[in-house]
Amino acid sequence: MGVRDLVALPKAHLHVHLESAVRASTLAELAARYGVVVPGVPEGGFSGFREFADRGSVVRSCLREPEDFARVAREFCADAAADGVRYAEVTFSAGSHGERLGSGDEPLAAVVAGLAEGSAEHDVVTRLILDHSRRRSVGRLAAMVEWASRFPEVVAVGVAGDEAFPLAPFASVLAQARAAGLRMVHHAGEMAGPESVVEAVRVGLADRIGHGIRADASVVAELRERGVAVEVCPSSNVVLGLVAGLGVHPLPGLMAAGVAVSVNLDVPDVVGTSLSGEFGRLRARWGWSDEVVAGLSVAAVEASFAPVGVKERVRGEIAGWLASG
């Protein structure tokens, strides 16, 4: 059984939505300022994805001015660093905010500025992933890809949301984004079956899969052979009612099958814990040793789009954590 301090474990966080990482105090302040009533997280979990998505829309409506976006980005860096996160790839719905506010890439520019300031102050390296709803237009994704070209901090784009909507309409834009040097990270296998994971890899050119917990044996083999990592978010899956409980979560099976997996929060405000807390939950549930925990942290670093020097540094820090105590 592991004994080392999980906050002190150097970590990479690859699947976390900025809008779901807003501090409760900040959200309350912004909601009061703009006259928005934000629903709480149901004690027994959400009744379905729609209820969860509707609450997320209300939260996003509390972000209106450039300083709102910059503030939550700065605070994200402070909170991540305090939890031992050394590197984070933050998912941000730039197209949704730009369209909602009629301000183009202004919210993205504000987030980039906030992350830069917060990263410098708190010694954490951050990059951005821009996500696009499957239910929205191809044109909006194309605009977002064009915005990404203006900001080197954006390392990837991805298609998310209701997996009943196919990726095929976005294939040409995604191919153009790949040709421009962007990586691909799509949500798949969260609500829909293994076919959505296959589509993300073959049609969406995925470098990583967000969630992927519905992958069956044949899909697992393809992920392993192609070296496509999976961003697993156990507590999120449970709270959203997608998995009955941690005891039946597919994570151990994916690990045993040799798939590269990382542990992530997805929606911190909903799961109600930090990344260290999530590792603690999983360590307690499955009796993980510190070696297993360190291995998962290294896997996240390896699956990241971090610069080589950052990867080397964080790997060394993880080894130092494991050598301590």
- Kindly state the tokens that stand for 141: 């994704």
- Residue 248: how many CB atoms within 10 A of its CB? 8
Q: Tell me whether strands 261-263 and 85-92 are parallel, antiparallel or unpaired.
A: unpaired
Dihedral pair phi/psi, residue 231, rounded to 5°? -95, 105
Contact 145, 107 (CB under 8 A): no
Phi-psi sector, 256: left (phi>0), alpha (psi -120 to 50), beta? alpha
Gap between the Cα atoms of 238 and 244, Å rounded: 6
DSSP for residue 38: P
Asked whether the CA dihedral 266, 271, 276, 282 is positive or negative, the reply is negative
Placement of tokens 């730039």 in the chain: 94
Gap between the Cα atoms of 137 and 259, Å rounded: 32
Over the range 103-136, which residues count as b (16 or more CB within 10 Å of their CB) and which as e?
bebbbbbbbbbbbbebbeebebbbbbbbbbbbeb
Query: Catalytic site residue 190?
Result: yes
- Cβ-proximal residues to 259 (8 Å cutoff; 6+ apart), any chain: 215, 220, 223, 224, 229, 230
Gap between the Cα atoms of 129 and 92, Å rounded: 6
Q: Tell me whether strands 183-188 and 154-160 are parallel, antiparallel or unpaired.
A: parallel
Gap between the Cα atoms of 73 and 64, Å rounded: 14
Q: Which helix (H) or strand (E) holds 221?
A: helix 217-226
**One-letter amino acid for residue 299 of the chain:** A
Catalytic residue among 190, 199, 231, 278: 190
Question: Which residues are annotated as catalytic?
Answer: 190
